């Protein structure tokens, strides 16, 4: 159990990638506060982890509210001890063309994805600094971006902007928090098989045509990358964006030469 004794906060932990992260960190030995906007989802995931003999508790959280983010950190520490791991994973999407997207819809995505990531990371980092910084072993913050934050995609004006912002936010936090022994990194999943994805056949084909590995990721594969960044094996890694994308970012023109020019 390479995270034995650690305390983790996972936002968006009630479904999809966040759910897989909560389960993985718990299996690796961490006590996990499963935070989600929907209390019943957080309660279900925490109950599943506890039923496996591991440590977890649920927490209802709107990630963009500063007081709620601070309360989540306080709850994690009250239940389990000093916070060491914070996974800023909560996010939403809205596939609307730029010319049709309202300002309200745009700001809703930015508020949850980017502002929520900042507010949660800030609350967690403040606690980690209070807990002793470098002398106390620091901590780890892992954010969730996307390949949509690295490449343009139609219908992703708000989502892509939010995820691009998370990448730079991660890098700035990594620079500022390094003196406190806090490492800050980012995972950038490619298309991942979760209920929220719900890609139709044309969208699915568009993704797969640009990938070396001819399939979507599983949430567990993304969770494994997060677990690595939380572990001692990543002790000299900070400010890094780890793509979990089946080769999406590396691809150029993909075709079978046997099909002719």
Axis crossing angle, helix 116-130 with helix 66-80, rounded to the nearest 10: 40
Q: How far is CA 111 from CA 42, 46, 206, 226, in A?
A: 21, 26, 28, 23
Q: Cα angle at 242 between 172 and 62, to 5 degrees?
A: 60
Annotated active-site residue 159? The verdict is: yes
- The residues facing 85 across adjacent strands are 8, 140
Among the listed residues 159, 207, 216, 248, the single catalytic one is 159
Task: State the Cα–Cα distance between residues 45 and 22, nearest whole angstrom.
Answer: 8
Please report the beta strands in the chain, taking only residues with DSSP state E, as ranges in sequence order: 7-11, 31-36, 56-60, 85-88, 139-144, 182-189, 241-244
Q: What are phi and psi of 244, to 5 degrees?
A: -120, 80
Q: Annotated active-site positions, please?
A: 159
């Amino acid at each position: 159990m390479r995270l034995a004794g650690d305390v983790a906060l996972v936002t968006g932990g009630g479904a999809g990638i966040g759910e897989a992260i909560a389960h993985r960190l718990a299996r690796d030995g961490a006590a996990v506060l499963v935070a989600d906007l929907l209390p019943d989802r957080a309660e279900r995931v925490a109950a599943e982890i506890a039923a496996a003999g591991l440590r977890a508790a649920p927490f209802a959280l709107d990630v963009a509210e500063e007081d709620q983010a601070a309360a989540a950190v306080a709850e994690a520490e009250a239940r389990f001890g000093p916070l060491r791991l914070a996974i800023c994973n909560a996010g939403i999407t809205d596939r609307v063309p730029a010319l049709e997207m309202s300002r309200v819809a745009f700001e809703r995505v930015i508020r949850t994805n980017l502002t929520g990531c900042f507010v949660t990371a800030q609350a967690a980092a403040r606690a980690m600094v209070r807990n002793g910084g470098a002398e106390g072993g620091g901590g780890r913050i892992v954010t969730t971006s996307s390949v949509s934050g690295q490449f343009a995609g139609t219908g992703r004006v708000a989502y892509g902007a939010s995820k691009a912002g998370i990448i730079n936010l991660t890098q700035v936090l990594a620079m500022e928090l390094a003196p406190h022994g806090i490492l800050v990194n980012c995972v950038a999943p490619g298309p991942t098989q979760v209920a929220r994805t719900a890609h139709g056949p044309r969208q699915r084909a568009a993704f797969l045509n640009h990938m070396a590995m001819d399939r979507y990721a599983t949430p567990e594969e993304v969770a494994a990358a997060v677990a690595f960044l939380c572990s001692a094996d990543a002790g000299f890694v900070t400010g890094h964006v780890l793509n979990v994308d089946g080769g999406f970012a590396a691809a150029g023109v993909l075709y079978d030469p046997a099909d002719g020019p």
